[in-house]
Every structure is written in C-alpha cells, then in structure tokens.
Amino acid sequence: MRTFEHFPNKQKCPICKTNEDKTCVLVGIEGTQEGFNVQAQPFHLECLDLTWFKDNNIIAMKWLEEKADKKEVKLFCVDCKTELEPFDDDTGKETPRCQECHDKMVEASDIEENVKTNG
C-alpha cells in the first residue's frame, strides 16, 4: 500500500475527523471502480488498526469513535447483529451477545445437557 507524506487539505480522516498533515494512505471506496480507476478516501496511517482474518482472507478494522474524550468500540451481537450498548455485554469480547441471544444459548445448552444426562 502506497503512503503519502502529506494529508490532503480539503479532506478529513474518517477515523479521527481531522485533516492533520500526517502520513496517509488512500483506501478505495467499494462500488466506485470504473476500469482501472477507483474513488478513494484518505486515512491517517496512524489511525488504522488492521486485523487479518486469515481463514476468511479478509483484512478489517474495529472502528473506534470519539465520544466524551475517550474511544469506545462498537459491539454487535454475534447472533442477531443488534448493536450493544457500552458495557452491555458481559459474555466476553470474543462472542458478544445481547441478553436475549445469550438466554437462548444458555437454554439450548441446558436442554442439550439434560438430554445427555437423562438419555
């Protein structure tokens, strides 16, 4: 990925919402490609925190938003995809679930255990 020494004057980084003159990269915008050209959005290189999901061959990023002078990660239920309120999820960051889906999972687990125990 090519880096650029200066951030464009008339643009803002979608992550930090500033146009500070720092090293940036251009990220292509899905659905805008025409031939060999694609529209792109500049991002500060230091704002990007990418993760490679090797099994799915996907590079992605957890999106952080500025709120009340601190960064919060948006969490979504892994089952129904509803957005969870901060500190709403107590099932662990690996598999965040809303209360309804968590209860369904526990109920299904209890039924499965009961079948194993009682035949």
Q: Which residues contact 60 (CB under 8 A, 6 or more apart)?
A: 50, 51, 53
**Does 3 score more than 90 pLDDT?**
yes
Per-residue pLDDT reduced to its tens digit, 87-109: 554 555 567 778 888 888 888 87
Distance of CA 29 to the CA centre of its chain: 17
pLDDT of residue 68: 35
CB 63 within 8 A of CB 55: no
Of the two residues 90 and 116, the one the predictor is more confident about is: 116
pLDDT single digits (tens) 20-34:
999 999 999 999 999
Distance (Å, whole) CA 116 – CA 58: 38
Q: How far is it, in rounded angstroms, from Cα 94 to Cα 84?
A: 14
* Torsion of the alpha carbons at 46, 19, 31 and 58, rounded to the nearest 10: 10
Spatial contact of 11 and 43, defined as CB atoms under 8 Å apart: no
pTM of this structure: 0.50
Running DSSP on this structure, what letter comes out for residue 62? P
pLDDT at site 39: 94
Amino acid at 26: L
Residue 64: exposure state from Cβ atoms within 10 A (0-12, 13-18, ≥19):
middle
